[in-house]
């Protein structure tokens, strides 16, 4: 076998993942189905996972890891939760899909609308990208306007109008960050730094009567975990009301994660439209968008705004989502999640202090990011100050010691209800050596 990555290939414990990666590279772009899985940002070859249970995953070589990726958020109950697996198995035994409606759609819709008072009607789709793309189309149709404000460093899926360069200044118009995206499309996107309320006001004034809405992660998670500043979300609500625009919460990550009713429950702000994903499908490909009934009535077939999907409302995804939300509603695990995540935060800060490594912990509920910097992060530009070489060294040692993290400094760690004290102890033990390695990169 020819080593493709000396950092990881030198260690025989990853031999089967390396072999799988060699095969995958000849079949898929970069050998992966999504870019972050390639581990390029941390200088490693990707792991190939065989199975997961609870808070742990096992790779093709049989290595077992405490997992803080959590499928990038949906697995709040841990991997292969018995009740969720049983619900999916029962649904699969009846058929994989029909191209027609099922009771499962009604069941999950009832759970969603009961949890989120702002969502009076909901439409199921297959991915967060579909949800945000569809919500924007609806906002434009409802307002008769074309421009959308998004925040620099916030990720809302890979649809053309949202995949734009990070910009500076309050009203930087988006330019494409990927070949194949026309500037005519991204020119309808207005970029404003996250947590910059005056910048939002300036954007509305500079494009008076042209802004259809603000699309916002109420808690930023795709530049790492960045909480909203005090009064920021309330200020966005007031601006949208003042200027006749719609407030769209991208709760793909935060929905059912930071509270059962998502960030809008946690912060007491009611958006016009909400985009959901991850937990709402219980780990299956599933997402949704919804909002006020008068807005959602404009969606086809009730109204003229067209959106469709062959696999939308797939019965397996509906079963997984309903099982997950029912458990969350009935077991009320959020105090436990808060306690576990707070213990993780405290233990990592203690380890960093011992290692003499600057580390900033930013956490909301069971979402947390440990930034390798000495100052708090409130927006994307501040996140970029982090020492990414140090994070790569930190990541590698953590992996070798049996703890798998998101392979990027700019991602969120997720805590599940299955992370117990033994998982935390293993994490802290690994962190001592990992932070010592990071210290050498400062």
DSSP string, 320-338: HHHHHHHHHHHH--HHHHH
Which of 316, 331, 346 finishes a domain?
A: 331
Would you say how long the chain is, in residues?
442
Q: 385 and 312 in one domain?
A: no
Task: Give 403's DSSP letter.
Answer: E
Q: 44 and 169 in one domain?
A: no
CATH code (residue 109):
3.40.640.10
**Nearest-angstrom CA–CA distance, 159 and 358:** 36
Express each pLDDT in 172-210 by its tens digit: 445 556 778 888 888 899 999 999 999 999 999 999 999
The residue range of the domain holding 106 is 82-331
Annotated catalytic residue 267: no
User: Cα dist. 227→263, 354, 379 in Å?
Assistant: 10, 27, 9
Residue 66 lies in a domain: yes
Global pTM reads 0.94
Q: 131 and 248 in one domain?
A: yes
Say if residues 239 and 174 touch (Cβ distance below 8 Å). no
Annotated catalytic residue 389: no
Q: 396 and 341 in one domain?
A: yes
Residue 356 lies in a domain: yes
Which of 298, 331, 364 finishes a domain?
A: 331
Query: In the predicted model, what is the mean pLDDT of residues 214-226?
Result: 96
DSSP per-residue codes, 78-126: -BT-HHHHHHHHHHHHH-S--SS--HHHHHHHHHHHHH-TT-SEEEEES
Annotated catalytic residue 67: no
Say if residues 414 and 70 touch (Cβ distance below 8 Å). yes
Residue 1 lies in a domain: no
Residue 95 has pLDDT above 90, yes or no: yes
Confidence category of residue 166, pLDDT binned at 50, 70, 90? very low
Q: 146 and 21 in one domain?
A: no
Express each pLDDT in 110-130 by its tens digit: 999 999 999 999 999 999 999
Residue 66 has pLDDT above 80, yes or no: yes
Order of strands, edge to edge, in the sheet holding 403-404?
Answer: 49-53, 56-59, 64-67, 403-404
CATH code (residue 370):
3.90.1150.10
Q: 234 and 351 in one domain?
A: no
Residue 171 lies in a domain: yes
The predicted structure's pLDDT at residue 255: 98
Q: 146 and 254 in one domain?
A: yes
Express each pLDDT in 409-442 by its tens digit: 999 999 999 999 999 999 999 999 999 999 999 7
Q: 250 and 131 in one domain?
A: yes
Residue 86 lies in a domain: yes
Residue among 278, 289, 334, 380 flagged as catalytic: 278
Confidence category of residue 327, pLDDT binned at 50, 70, 90? very high
Domains contained in the chain, number? 2
The predicted structure's pLDDT at residue 181: 80
Q: 57 and 67 in one domain?
A: yes
Say if residues 67 and 55 touch (Cβ distance below 8 Å). yes
Residue among 14, 72, 155, 334 flagged as catalytic: 155
Residue 2 has pLDDT above 50, yes or no: no
Q: 189 and 277 in one domain?
A: yes
Residue among 61, 250, 272, 400 flagged as catalytic: 250
Q: 380 and 297 in one domain?
A: no
Residue 64 lies in a domain: yes
Query: In the predicted model, what is the mean pLDDT of residues 295-323?
Result: 97
Q: 236 and 122 in one domain?
A: yes
Residue 253 lies in a domain: yes
Which of 303, 331, 359 finishes a domain?
A: 331
Average pLDDT, the chain: 93
Residue 67 has pLDDT above 80, yes or no: yes
Closest CA to 251 of 381, 359, 367: 367
């Amino acid at each position: 076998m020819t080593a493709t990555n000396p950092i990881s290939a030198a260690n025989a414990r990853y031999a089967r993942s390396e072999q799988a990666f060699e095969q995958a590279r000849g079949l898929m772009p970069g050998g992966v189905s999504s870019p972050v899985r390639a581990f390029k940002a941390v200088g490693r070859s990707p792991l190939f996972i065989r199975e997961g249970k609870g808070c742990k995953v096992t790779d093709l070589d049989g290595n077992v890891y405490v997992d803080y990726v959590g499928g990038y958020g949906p697995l709040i109950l841990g991997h292969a939760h018995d009740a969720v697996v049983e619900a999916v198995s029962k649904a699969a035994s009846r058929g994989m899909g029909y191209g027609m409606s099922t009771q499962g759609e009604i069941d999950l819709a009832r759970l969603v609308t009961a949890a989120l008072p702002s969502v009076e009607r909901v439409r199921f789709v297959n991915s967060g990208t579909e949800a945000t793309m569809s919500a924007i189309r609806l906002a434009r149709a409802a307002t008769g306007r074309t421009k959308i404000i998004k925040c620099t460093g916030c990720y809302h899926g890979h649809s053309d109008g949202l995949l734009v360069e990070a910009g500076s200044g309050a009203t930087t118009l988006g330019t494409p960050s990927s070949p194949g995206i026309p500037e005519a499309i991204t020119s309808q996107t207005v970029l404003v730094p996250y947590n910059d309320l005056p910048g939002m006001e300036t954007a509305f004034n500079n494009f008076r009567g042209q802004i259809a809405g603000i699309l916002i992660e109420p808690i930023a998670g795709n530049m790492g975990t960045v909480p909203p500043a005090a009064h920021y979300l309330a200020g966005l609500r007031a601006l949208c009301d003042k200027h006749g625009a719609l407030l769209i919460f991208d709760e793909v990550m935060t929905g059912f994660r930071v509270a059962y009713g998502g960030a809008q429950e946690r912060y007491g702000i009611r958006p016009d439209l909400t985009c959901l994903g991850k937990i709402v499908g219980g780990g299956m490909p599933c997402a949704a968008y919804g909002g006020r009934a008068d807005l959602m009535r404009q969606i086809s077939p009730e109204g003229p705004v067209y959106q469709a999907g062959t696999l939308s409302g797939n019965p397996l995804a509906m079963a997984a989502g309903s099982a997950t939300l029912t458990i969350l509603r009935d077991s009320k695990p959020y105090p436990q999640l808060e306690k576990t995540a707070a213990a993780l935060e405290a233990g990592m800060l203690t380890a960093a202090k011992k290692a003499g490594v600057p580390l900033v912990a930013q956490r909301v509920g069971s979402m947390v990011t440990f930034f390798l910097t000495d100052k708090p992060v409130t927006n994307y530009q501040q996140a970029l100050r982090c020492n990414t070489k140090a994070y790569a060294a930190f990541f590698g040692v953590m992996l070798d010691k049996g703890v798998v993290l998101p392979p990027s400094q700019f991602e969120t760690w997720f805590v599940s209800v299955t992370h117990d004290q033994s998982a935390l102890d293993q994490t802290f033990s690994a962190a001592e050596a990992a932070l010592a390695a990071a210290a050498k990169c400062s």
